[in-house]
Structure 1
Amino acid sequence: MRDITTTLLYRWFHEVWNQSQEQTIDELLSPDCYAHGINAEDGAKGIEGFKAFYQDFQKQFQHIQINIKDVISQDDMECAHTEVTAIHRKTGTPVKFSGLCLVRIENGKIEEAWNHYDFLNMHQQLGQELTPLELA
């Protein structure tokens, strides 16, 4: 059986999100990291870009907990299956959604990340109706 507690992603989710240790971002994220699914194409990248996402999420939600269900690690890649629970600050509505995070690690830091979280489900739980963009 795998010991997920020895993985970088376990430490990432446990410290950054569950313990709100923002300083761990500086320790585990490469300054040049690109987080697919989080960084906007025209927005800040690396630590600055992730911290903008992190701080915005923290402003919108409280009691954020990420249950790390499994982590698979091989060579320079790790993939975590997670389940997020939180409470929307403005409405008090609890949300629960799942996702996957795949990272490439260099020199003990996350160099690139691919995030696939069910944010549609999260928005639906908040009663928000999303409409498709009209393409010109």
Structure 2
Amino acid sequence: MRHIQSTVLYRWFNDVWNQDDENAIDRLLAADARAYGILREDQPRGPEGFKGFFREFRSQFHGIHVEVEDVISQDGVESARMTVTATHTETGKQVIFPGISMAYIQDGKIAQAWNSYDFLSMYQQLGQTLTPVP
């Protein structure tokens, strides 16, 4: 039986997002960590870079809850499957979208993370559509 609550990724989503604990970013993210799929290449690495994303997302959404449905952990790599629920602050619309994160864990912290969230579904729930660029 897996104990997902003992994994770094479970603590990350629970502490950072569900508990709204910005200080947990410093505790759980390595100083030079990369967050692929979340941050651009030109953004700072580590906690300071991620805090920019965290603050921006929090300014656009409230009532954020990440339900970690499963985590697999082996040989310093963790992979989590989750569902994000949040309320868009401007419109009051609730969004629900899935995501997957895979992270390399080093010294009890996330050293690198690869993230894939269904942001298309999130934007569609907000009534937004994609327009092809000519």
Does the alignment reach a TM-score above 0.5? yes
Return the offset for 1:132.
3.5
Structure 2 unaligned segments of length 5 or more: list them: none
Structure 1 unaligned segments of length 5 or more: list them: none
Q: How big is the alpha-carbon RMSD for the aligned residues of Structure 1 and Structure 2?
A: 0.9
| Residue identity (%) | 53
Return the offset for 1:49.
1.2
Which amino acid is the alignment partner of residue 3 of structure 1? H
Which amino acid is the alignment partner of residue 50 of structure 2? F
Q: What do residues 62-94 of structure 1 show as CA deviations (whole Å, max 9, x unaligned)? A: 000000000000011000000000000000000
3-state DSSP of counterpart to 1:41: coil
The two structures have a TM-score, normalised by structure 2, of: 0.97
CA distance in 2, matches of 1:107, 1:133: 44
The two structures have a TM-score, normalised by structure 1, of: 0.95
3-state DSSP of counterpart to 2:49: helix
CA distance in 1, matches of 2:56, 2:124: 19
Residue 28 (structure 1) aligned with residue 28 (structure 2): yes
Report 1:44-55 matches (<5 A): 44-55=44-55
Partner of 2:115: 115
Q: Detail structure 1 runs of 4+ shifted over 6 Å in the superposition.
A: none
